[in-house]
Each structure stands twice: as structure tokens, then as C-alpha cells.
Structure 1
């Protein structure tokens, strides 16, 4: 559904690239996670793929359309849920969706059906400007499904939502994927990526550092981490060390030699821990 080759982009059109030499493919029917901290280049790549930014260098095919020459038909096949809600404040929830549905040349989903799906039943005649941040986010999410997209771009789909609503959103994503929808998920939330994604790409400073499945990453790194609980200056501390990287092995030995150890055990690596080990960067 997506093929990207040697993609680079500079906002100033100089040699300072926000993304450089990006290469990846997203297979039909998979959930592909694009993971990285703020400023890593996630949104830049996503905006190029959805036509919000013009392609400068490289190649990209989205839903079988070459984005060098974007066709209107491509937008009938894709949906986009933005992290920052951009609904019309003076229109009601239903009016927002009804207006958006008129932009497509394909059959669209009933507005009330979508509002009910995202937990906004009974709010269809309330102006979006009166909505909370979380309700606006749900309205944006609902809008992205109105044309029943084959390829669905989701940017931080659970941000700002309480746990119950976030769980509902994740179930919708899983259901759509089971129905055959391909999903490109942009996030810095490693927990949602771990739960939903078939494969993930780690992006830092505009470059992809790794692409693999969460399962393979855990198999590769899971038995190579040790969590140690120890006493230092009369305080209990907990740290996790890699048994592969030399600097971690040395630090672990120092803790063992110099401090009282309370517990020590191997642990399954989280995606966040793997991300930090692979990229040397945190997610903030």
C-alpha cells in the first residue's frame, strides 16, 4: 500500500534535511508503526505521503498512486486522523461530518453511525466549539473513517483520551484492520504501538534506525536485560542494564561490586527500552 524510496525533505530547501534517505514499505493489511520522539520527522513523512507537503526528493507510492502527481482519486482511498483536531468550531458534530462527506466521490458512512461508534451519541447537534479536547479528537477520528478508507493514517489516535475511551479507539482500529484496512500509525507511545502494530520503524533525527516486528525485537533483546534493585545512600534504586552493550555491562558490575543488591532478574524489554538502546535517544 505504501512504497517509499530515498525520501528526503528540507523545509528551507537547503542541505539541512528534516528527513533524509527514508526507505520503507507498508504491506496491504498490516498496521505499520512509525515511532519516534517529537521532532524526529514522523509528521514530515506523513504529511508528504498524504499530500500536505510536496515531495522534494525520492519516490513514494501511496495506495497505488505516485505522489509526484497526486490524483484526486487517491483521497477517496485514504483517511487521516490528525493529532491536533482541526474541526469547524461553529458547525455541529453532525454538520462537520456531513460537510466532509461531500468532498468524496465514493459512498460515505452515515454521520450518526460514526458519532455513535466513537462515543459521541447525543452530541450530534452540539457545536464542535463547545466540545472538550478529547471530544474534538474523537470527532476528528470519526471523520477519518467517513469514506471507509483502504489506507488509514493515524497520528497519535489515543492522545488526550481517558483510558476507557482510548480502549474503545484501539478496538475500532483492530476491527478495521481485521476488515482489511491498512494502517500507518504515527506515535511516540510505545505501548499502543506494541499492542497494535505488526511492524514498527524507529525514526530519530530524520533517519530510520530499524524496522522489525515488536515480537522479533523482544525476542532479540528480551533475554539481554537485567533489572537490578539495590541500595545506594540508604535509598532503594532500580535500574535496567543490557548484558550486551559493554558500557552497560561495566555499569552493572560496578553496581554489584559497590552496593547491596536486593533483587536481580532478567526481564522482557519494552519497545521504549529497545528504542532507547537502538537509537540512544529517549521519546521526549
Structure 2
């Protein structure tokens, strides 16, 4: 998957813009994704995430600006470019009466790919033991893994995933995340869109927040939480309660002088039983920067 000849930046966009009638879906979008990185494009429904993937995968043409993916200009090098990418959209367009293996065999026939690749991709997504079953009997999570397998048949350098965790139960979502992580470790560059902040926090080395087609932040989840989140401390206090001791938790702000004095007082009185730092969630940071909820 990852080759020495690959460029360091596998995705580059500059001032990418796309409108539909009076609606500006993507506005002056500029960012880059390094080779082997999992990059998350995060935002609420209608923010421009899917339009961005359609632009970067060559399915629609930008009104202005440019994009390069896997060393190819997405509008000028279309034939070579299509061979370098895999795309999994939210719609699960599988042949449900056919088995998983037959679905993949049909894709191999359609695109002139060797069928020996089928077992390899089924192994990558942990589906070899279900390969003979009709897809209609699969859960949403199994279908999602099969879609990823289909997108990997031609060994793409870059994989686009549109809302990979939407509608999945926690176990299925965890399995899909493991597949994505494994592909990244093997050198594949992955761009995923999601409105699930926990999913992005666990998977992505870097994330970009998009609202109304514009980026409002671009950094690692850790840096975003440290830079924009409030530094809090959960203090477990012991309170006298008749003949017994009662415990309760209090949240303090680490950067507040009054809260610092209060903590020193409780420590001197011997009432503190536990201290836990509380990091801001990525969703809290998103709301602070974007001013909108992820619904």
C-alpha cells in the first residue's frame, strides 16, 4: 500500500470551492493530508463533508481552486487518479441476494481485477468466514466491512470513507475502527468524514472542523482539546455525615485562582480523597469553535 515513491502529501487542496445553485457547499477549502495519516473531516449534517469527498474523488468538478490526490490532479489526471483511490460512501449499494464473495467477484470482473485479490481483502476486514453467506443476512457492520473490502480490491493508495460509523452498534463500530487502523498501519492514507466526535478522537491523527463549507480548525485532537478546552479537576471530598463519612465530587477550574485556593484549603484540612484531571471532549471544543451542535 505505502510505497517509497509516493509523495509525502497524499491529499492537497487549495481554495476549493463548489456551489449548487444559491447554496455554497464548499468554500475556499485548503488543507493537506500526509502519507499514511488518518485525517478526519468533522461537522454536522449538511456541513459540506460529503461534497468534499465527491470533489476529492473526482465525482464532481470544483467551481474554482484545485486538488491533488496521490500525486494526481483530480480534474486533469482522471484516468490515473481513479486507479489510485478507493471510496466508500454512506449508501450501502451491495447486491444483497448474492454472497459477499460473489459481490467481490462481480467487482473484479467489472474492473478487470484478478480474483485472487478477493481472499486478501476478505482477510483484511475479517470476513473470510462469512464470505459464502448472502449479504442480505449481514448486519450493518458486516456490510460496512464488505464495502471497505470492495474499495480495497485494486490496492488504492488513498481511501475515502464517508460516515463509516453511522448507524452501527458499538461492537460493529469498534470492529470497523480496527480495520481502518490496520490499513493505516500498513501505509494507506485515509480521509474519513464523520459527525461522531468519539470516533474521530480514537482514530484520527489530525482533524478539521467544517461548518457551512468552511474549515474553522485543523489540528490533532489532542492539541485542539488542550488549546481550546477548559482545564478542569474533579475533586472527591469527604464530608462528615453523622456517624459515617460521605463522599461527593466537586469540579474545579485549574486556571482559576479562587479554585486553586479552595483546593489548597481542602488539602490542608485532609478532606481530599481523590483527584482526577478532566479533559475537554472533542465535541465540546467543536461547539466552542463552530458555535453549532453536531445534530
The two structures share one fold, judged by TM-score above 0.5: yes
1:160 aligns with 2:171: no
- Pair 1:265–1:178, CA change in 2 (3 A): closer
- Pair 1:111–1:241, CA change in 2 (3 A): farther
Q: 2:106 aligns with which of 84, 87, 99?
A: 99
| Alignment partner, residue 6 of structure 1 | 15
| Alignment partner, residue 171 of structure 1 | 178
In structure 2, C-alpha distance between the alignment counterparts of 1:4 and 1:277, rounded to whole Å: 26
In structure 2, C-alpha distance between the alignment counterparts of 1:212 and 1:48, rounded to whole Å: 22
1:85 aligns with 2:92: yes
Confirm or deny: 8 A CA contact 2:229 2:284 kept in the other structure. no
CA-atom RMSD, angstroms?
2.9
Q: 2:283 aligns with which of 269, 272, 277?
A: 272
- Pair 1:88–1:55, CA change in 2 (3 A): farther
Q: 1:24 aligns with which of 19, 31, 39?
A: 31
Secondary structure of 2:96 counterpart: coil
In structure 2, C-alpha distance between the alignment counterparts of 1:61 and 1:118, rounded to whole Å: 28
TM-score normalised according to structure 1 size: 0.79
| Alignment partner, residue 259 of structure 1 | none
Shift of residue 57 of structure 1?
Answer: 1.7
Secondary structure of 1:72 counterpart: helix
In structure 2, C-alpha distance between the alignment counterparts of 1:212 and 1:162, rounded to whole Å: 28
* Structure 1 runs not aligned, ≥5 long: 229-237, 245-263
* Structure 2 runs not aligned, ≥5 long: 1-9, 236-248, 256-274
Residues 38-117 of structure 1 correspond to what in structure 2 (within 5 A)? 38-104=45-111, 110-117=117-124
In structure 2, C-alpha distance between the alignment counterparts of 1:33 and 1:101, rounded to whole Å: 29
Confirm or deny: 8 A CA contact 2:141 2:168 kept in the other structure. yes
Shift of residue 117 of structure 1?
Answer: 4.0
What do residues 189-231 of structure 1 show as CA deviations (whole Å, max 9, x unaligned)?
1111111111110001111101111121122134445789xxx
Residues 184-203 of structure 1 correspond to what in structure 2 (within 5 A)? 184-203=191-210
Shift of residue 174 of structure 1?
Answer: 1.6
Q: Which moved more, 1:77-86 or 1:115-124?
A: 115-124
In structure 2, C-alpha distance between the alignment counterparts of 1:241 and 1:185, rounded to whole Å: 36
In structure 1, C-alpha distance between the alignment counterparts of 2:36 and 2:171, rounded to whole Å: 26
TM-score normalised according to structure 2 size: 0.76
In structure 2, C-alpha distance between the alignment counterparts of 1:182 and 1:113, rounded to whole Å: 19
Shift of residue 178 of structure 1?
Answer: 1.5
